[in-house]
Structure 1
Amino acid sequence: MSIDIVLRGLGRYVPEKTLTNAALEKIVDTSDEWIFTRTGIRVRHIASEEQNTSDLAVEAARQALANANMEAEELTHIVVGTFTPDAMVPSCACVVEEKLGIKGRAVYDIAAACSGFLYALENARAILALHPEARVLVIGAETVTRRINFEDRTTCVLFGDGAGAAVLTRDGEGPKVLDVKLSSDGSLGRLLTVNGGGSCSSYSRPGEPIREDYFVQMEGREIFKHAVRSMTGVCNEILEDNGRTRHDIDVLIPHQANWRIIDAVGRKFDVPPEKVYSNVDRYGNTSAASIPLALSEAVDNDFVKDGDLVLLTSFGGGFTWASALLQF
């Protein structure tokens, strides 16, 4: 795309409540050593009973707007990437709009699991290509722990809750979104699912126990292979499309699924460890919030600096995967 898409502001939010590996030892048959050596995670943030996905999203949105020196009233569009909305209807984007105190905007959710933010980012680029005057709020927000079975030690140790947001325009100062590339393979969707509550899996009736298919179910080993292969592949594609090579990359921010995947992507892509940003030890896998949360944090702590070429990449259920190239 030849037009400039400007990333005017970034924001993030995680709930105050935390769940450490030591606390998980009291809930399920696991240990801090087992969790950390396999995932790199030490702690994750958990939404309180009073918090929904929209609450996390609004906090991140307000920070992004403040960072962009903009008011909510200036927004024209809100796009939320999430697979854990407050409800099936209304959309999380509609709830966010109401909580920001505005109405009449074009708002909608995108369901691409952990790739949700980058899918939403590409939607923002399309909106801005058609409407140069638009001000688009893009959010990745999840309360994944609401869909976790805390009797399943293979999944309950991995996920946390959080939100990240960005404001995009055609004008103003800020990093440029050079390109976004999306891909998918629906034939592999069975390897990572949350079927319960969908039309293919009827709701539990009053008095019936909640079934396992209401929670995240995954084939970890198969997902690992596909995640590493897909993320490195889409990164190579976006660099080739933009006349760049891996040696041009100053910072790589992969989806924060677990440390083994992050490390494998960096190694296979031949990016030095000091150029790979990770915060998975402090947040766990926050799904669609993972990329914007990490990007916002990396900018704030000067891991990303002016002039840097930043490569983002994600992988999620569906399967979906994506990459984005940013020039700071």
Structure 2
Amino acid sequence: MSFLKPTAPVYLLGPRSWLPARVMTNQDVLDWMGTRARPSWITHRTGVEKRHWVEPEQACSDIAAAAALRLLEDCAIDRRRISQLLLATVSGDFPTPPTSPLVLPKLGLDGIGVLDLVAACAGFTSAVHVGAGLALATGSDHLVIAADIRSKFLNREDLATTALFGDGAASCLVTPRPEQADYQLVASELGADASMADIIAIRAGGSRLPHHLNDDPTKVFLKMEHGATLFMKGVDNMSAGAASLLRRLGMSVADVDWFVPHQANLHLIRAITDKLGADPAKVVETVQFTGNTSGASVGIALAHLQEKLPLRSGQSVLLISAGAGGASACALLKRL
């Protein structure tokens, strides 16, 4: 485990989220797939009722910039404050180059540090963890973005996977300065379960199997395997990560005011709630109208909490995430 308890205050400004304009209901997805399955099958199996998909011409850098621009403009952030951009994504514009440099001109930024961070569904929380460490070390501000496009990697022949996913992005500023901040970071922790390393994967396109050597068209799509094992591992790893962080802080589940888990699917969220013994009324659920947005989901759900629910000063918010590769990340925030 990689545990961070800041030795000096670190704050978050935001987040702000962005979802594509194109809304896909369950019927829309089934029509796109050309299947006669019923929309109620998707709702019953996943809890998802609709999700947002990008247009064909939109790429990861576009939606990342859209979320960051919303943050910069809503919060009137002076761009000169920003020393580095951290982009959490598993769906960059290209295999090479990294996508974070491509976001800079869309934000009117140049000459600052850039870093792509690949942590799949743990992306937003992992980027906050890394950004906090850098903010402590440098005394400067770091722009965090989590953005993922899954719709372009879905197989029309694989309903179980395709039914789950949506596209979206979220952004926040991690800073040592309290001015305008929405939260203080109490602590965060990263982990991994290597037994899950390849259960969720796109098999082709990397150095293991470059596209020009691939002769199996299904390997260019996102594939989730061993569904029952994946579900149980997801529940166990996210619950264990949350319990570990709270234990290090001498806290219990009852001490937490709000829980923001990765929005993988509704049944998994509720299984985590049960395993932790958390009050369901304190658990944020957005998957019904966003689908699984991979690394952006926790940031989108946190933005929803901030905008729609009665969050008060001094309340604690526990971010809980895990996903592809077995990567996990949790963080405890205090509302200012």
The answer to whether 1:180 aligns with 2:185 is no
- Consecutive aligned runs of 4 or more in structure 1 exceeding 6 Å deviation: none
Task: Tell me the alpha carbon deviations over residues 189-218 of structure 1, each in whole angstroms, 9 at most, x when there is no partner.
Answer: 12111121011112147xx97721111111
State the match for 2:319 in structure 1: 312
- Name the CA shift for 1:154/1:29 in 2 (closer, same or farther; >3 Å): farther
State whether residues 24 and 31 of structure 1, in contact with CA within 8 Å, keep that contact through their aligned partners in structure 2: no
The answer to whether 1:11 aligns with 2:16 is yes
Equivalent position to 1:300, from 302, 307, 312 = 307
The answer to whether 1:116 aligns with 2:162 is no
Q: Equivalences for 1:86-235 in 2 at 5 Å?
A: 86-132=93-139, 134-173=140-179, 174=181, 175-204=183-212, 211-219=217-225, 220-235=227-242
State the match for 2:253 in structure 1: 246
Give the percent of matched residue pairs that are identical in Structure 1 and Structure 2.
31
Aligned residues: 325
Letter in 1 for 2:129: E
Task: Tell me the alpha carbon deviations over residues 4-63 of structure 1, each in whole angstroms, 9 at most, x when there is no partner.
Answer: 111122211010001111122322342211111111100010000121111111111012
Equivalent position to 1:23, from 19, 28, 44 = 28
State whether residues 78 and 136 of structure 1, in contact with CA within 8 Å, keep that contact through their aligned partners in structure 2: yes
State whether residues 81 and 140 of structure 1, in contact with CA within 8 Å, keep that contact through their aligned partners in structure 2: yes
Distance in 2 separating the partners of 1:302 and 1:224? 28
- Name the CA shift for 1:96/1:210 in 2 (closer, same or farther; >3 Å): farther
| Alignment gaps of 5+ in structure 1 | none
Task: State the shift of 1:316 in Å.
Answer: 1.1
Distance in 2 separating the partners of 1:303 and 1:95? 37
Using the TM superposition, name which of 159-168 and 88-97 deviates more. Answer: 88-97
Using the TM superposition, name which of 91-100 and 227-236 deviates more. Answer: 91-100
Distance in 2 separating the partners of 1:295 and 1:9? 9
Task: State the shift of 1:306 in Å.
Answer: 2.1
State the match for 1:32 in structure 2: 39
Task: State the shift of 1:101 in Å.
Answer: 1.7
Task: State the shift of 1:2 in Å.
Answer: 2.5
Task: State the shift of 1:295 in Å.
Answer: 0.4
Distance in 2 separating the partners of 1:182 and 1:176? 18
Distance in 2 separating the partners of 1:34 and 1:49? 27
Residue 76 of structure 1 aligns to a residue whose secondary structure is strand
State whether residues 30 and 153 of structure 1, in contact with CA within 8 Å, keep that contact through their aligned partners in structure 2: no
Task: State the shift of 1:72 in Å.
Answer: 2.7
State whether residues 121 and 138 of structure 1, in contact with CA within 8 Å, keep that contact through their aligned partners in structure 2: yes
Distance in 2 separating the partners of 1:30 and 1:231? 31
Residue 294 of structure 1 aligns to a residue whose secondary structure is helix
Distance in 2 separating the partners of 1:49 and 1:304? 37
Q: Tell me the TM-score normalized by structure 1.
A: 0.95
Q: Tell me the TM-score normalized by structure 2.
A: 0.93
Distance in 2 separating the partners of 1:323 and 1:84? 22
Task: Tell me the alpha carbon deviations over residues 218-241 of structure 1, each in whole angstroms, 9 at most, x when there is no partner.
Answer: 122111011100111010111111
State the match for 1:77 in structure 2: 84
- Name the CA shift for 1:265/1:125 in 2 (closer, same or farther; >3 Å): same
Residue 55 of structure 1 aligns to a residue whose secondary structure is helix
Distance in 2 separating the partners of 1:125 and 1:171? 12
Residue 190 of structure 1 aligns to a residue whose secondary structure is coil
Distance in 1 separating the partners of 2:289 and 2:215? 33
Q: Equivalences for 1:255-270 in 2 at 5 Å?
A: 255-270=262-277
| Alignment gaps of 5+ in structure 2 | 1-5
Distance in 1 separating the partners of 2:142 and 2:75? 12
